[in-house]
Structure 1
Amino acid sequence: MDLERLPSGKFDSNDLVLNLGALTYNILKHIGLCGLLDEDAPVRHSAKRRRIKTVIQELMYVAARLIKRSRQLWLRFGKNCSAFSAFNKVYKRLVYE
């Protein structure tokens, strides 16, 4: 997440960046646990936990088209998208719980 060097000389700015980095890390870790550990996961082999890089590659870099229709935003995935079921499961779990 590129937090090796902090962006500012000010303590408050660096504190904010570190807190946002920790929040981002925890969100990605939760997404990895929810979406990439089941039998329908798009990754190549099974594991007990996923690295952040794997979560980003398998779920965040999924090609989709953003469509605005009837004042709503929709994500359109391809027909053979291997990550759609995992992405849909994570989305439902985050939205409806």
Structure 2
Amino acid sequence: METFWTNLYESPETVIDLYHEHGTSEQFHSELKSDMNVERLPSGKFVVNAILLKLAMLSFNILRFIGQTSLAFPDALPYKTDSKRKRLRKVIDDLIRVAVKIVRHARQTCIRLWEQDPWLACFKQVYSVCCNL
């Protein structure tokens, strides 16, 4: 049995939904602090910290988009999952830190992806979605 005391003028179902969404908000806040490494802002100046926080939020949103886009292709994932979202640390480890090799040949430089990478199919599909925006 759960008891909620509130001064909101909403229906009990709406209050319970808001309470559960608060937990999701706390998870996002925790990811922003720990995975984006902004637990302690480096400067004593408010303006500098505001700029750094805005850059962290922009990076956070881009990584969240990449993570949600990767979950839209369940056949390309190297494992089966029923999760609705992907933690930022997993997005960084799986899709941002992709194994590549820089090749210089005939006065040209190109990047070659490792073809044995289990995340390569997912990476290609997410990249194609991002390029078509």
Partner of 1:33: 68
Aligned to 2:96: 60
Q: Any idea what the Cα deviations from partners look like across 1:65-89, whole Å, max 9, x if unmatched?
A: 1345688764312222211111111
- Relative to structure 1, is the Cα distance of residues 70 and 22 closer, same or farther in structure 2, using a 3 angstrom cutoff? farther
Contact kept? 1:64, 1:78, Cα under 8 Å: yes
Cα distance, 1:31–1:13 mapped onto 2, change above 3 Å: same
CA 1:69/1:49 → structure 2, altered by over 3 Å: closer, same or farther? Answer: farther
CA distance in 2, matches of 1:3, 1:54: 17
Hey, what's the Cα distance between the residues in 1 that align with 2:126 and 2:104?
22
Larger Rg: 2
- Ranked by relative contact order (alpha carbons within 8 Å, sequence separation 6 or more), the top structure is 1
Task: State TM-score, norm by structure 1.
Answer: 0.83
Matched, 1:83 2:119: yes
Q: Which runs of 5+ in 1 are unaligned?
A: none
Number of aligned residue pairs:
96
8 A contact 1:65–1:76 mirrored in 2: yes
Q: Counterpart amino acid of 2:88?
A: I
Return the letter of the residue paired with 2:51: L
Instruction: State the AA in 2 paired with 1:54.
Output: K
Question: Are the equivalent residues in 1 in contact too, given 2:71–2:84 (CA < 8 A)?
Answer: no
Equivalent pair of 1:37/1:48 in contact (CA under 8 Å): no
Structure with more helix by fraction: 2
